Structure 1
Amino acid sequence: MSSANLRHNPATMAAPTNNLYSHGVEVPAGSRRLYVAGQVGTRPDGTIAGDLDGQVEQIMTNIEAILADAGMDLGDVVKLNAYCLKSEDIMTYAALRNRYFKGAPPATTAVVVAGLALPEWLIEVDAVAEKTD
């Protein structure tokens, strides 16, 4: 996350679980904002990994590519939303996600949904990134 962004984790409430996310992220005025559409585990050749780990790895690769195209990186991500098909997949996703976010993690939401657009998709993740130039 850009050093200009401020994390908010008030002492008057429970700390983020294992410090794996931030309760809030404040972005300074004048920042560029990038909304990343929901990403799934589709590889450049159109194939999709059959397991959650492979799909999450490809999702993070896709997000990194979109960020790079905008002159940003994972450090500029301030918000992630993950949509999982099974509640037991949330912790697996979180562990994989956290390998990519070092230091100040973004604000994060993970929910369990009844289904995604294609049956082979196990997870979908969207993001918001902010960067002060």
Structure 2
Amino acid sequence: MSARDVVFPPGRQALYEKNRYSPAIRSNGFLFVSGQVGSRPDGSTETDLQAHVGLAFDNLNAILSAAGCTFKDVVDVTVFVVDPESNLETIWKVFGEHWGEAPYPTLTGVGVTWLYGAQFEIKVIARLPEASAAD
């Protein structure tokens, strides 16, 4: 079995080691990114929903960048939303700032009752640029 090729964004490795998971793993031409919430570098969570979603995208983009990717390389998105009936409209406004132009990635939205103190989480799969160039 080969070692996992872990990607750490700058300044957050201690947070991931404390919580015992990898922010992202490179494998077979893809980047698999763990769910990102609106957490600050110290691990505290932003409570304002709009700011929380923006910070979650900032955290996601830091991981993508550390792997040499951008959101344009994302092919699949899964979002988890606490109380989507009340929160989806606010969340969707922030998406527009980060989503980019068509063609869009696939999207799965899941309504949940609890996210460990967060209201929104996003996880993605991205195609690594070097894998795209090999096609």
For normalisation by structure 2, the TM-score amounts to 0.69
d(CA) in 2 for partners of 1:58, 1:70? 19
d(CA) in 1 for partners of 2:61, 2:82? 23
Cα-to-partner distance string for 1:34-73 (whole Å, 9 max, x where unaligned): 0110111111132221111111011100110100111001
1:60 and 2:57 aligned: yes
- Which residue is 1:109 aligned to? 108
Gaps of 5+ in 1: 1-30
* Length, aligned pairs only: 101
What secondary structure, in the 3-state scheme, does the structure 1 residue paired with 2:54 have? helix
d(CA) in 2 for partners of 1:96, 1:112? 18
d(CA) in 2 for partners of 1:102, 1:46? 28
- Which residue is 1:124 aligned to? 121
d(CA) in 2 for partners of 1:60, 1:126? 10
What secondary structure, in the 3-state scheme, does the structure 1 residue paired with 2:96 have? helix
- Which residue is 2:33 aligned to? 36
Higher RCO by CA contacts (8 Å cutoff, separation 6 or greater): 1
Q: Report the aligned-residue RMSD.
A: 1.5
- Which residue is 1:97 aligned to? 95
d(CA) in 1 for partners of 2:89, 2:59? 21
Is the 8 Å Cα contact of residues 90 and 110 (structure 1) preserved in structure 2?
no
Is the 8 Å Cα contact of residues 80 and 125 (structure 1) preserved in structure 2?
yes
**Greater helix proportion:** 2
What's the % identity of the aligned pairs? 31
For normalisation by structure 1, the TM-score amounts to 0.70
Q: How does 1:12-91 map to 2 (within 5 A)?
A: 32-87=29-84, 88-91=86-89
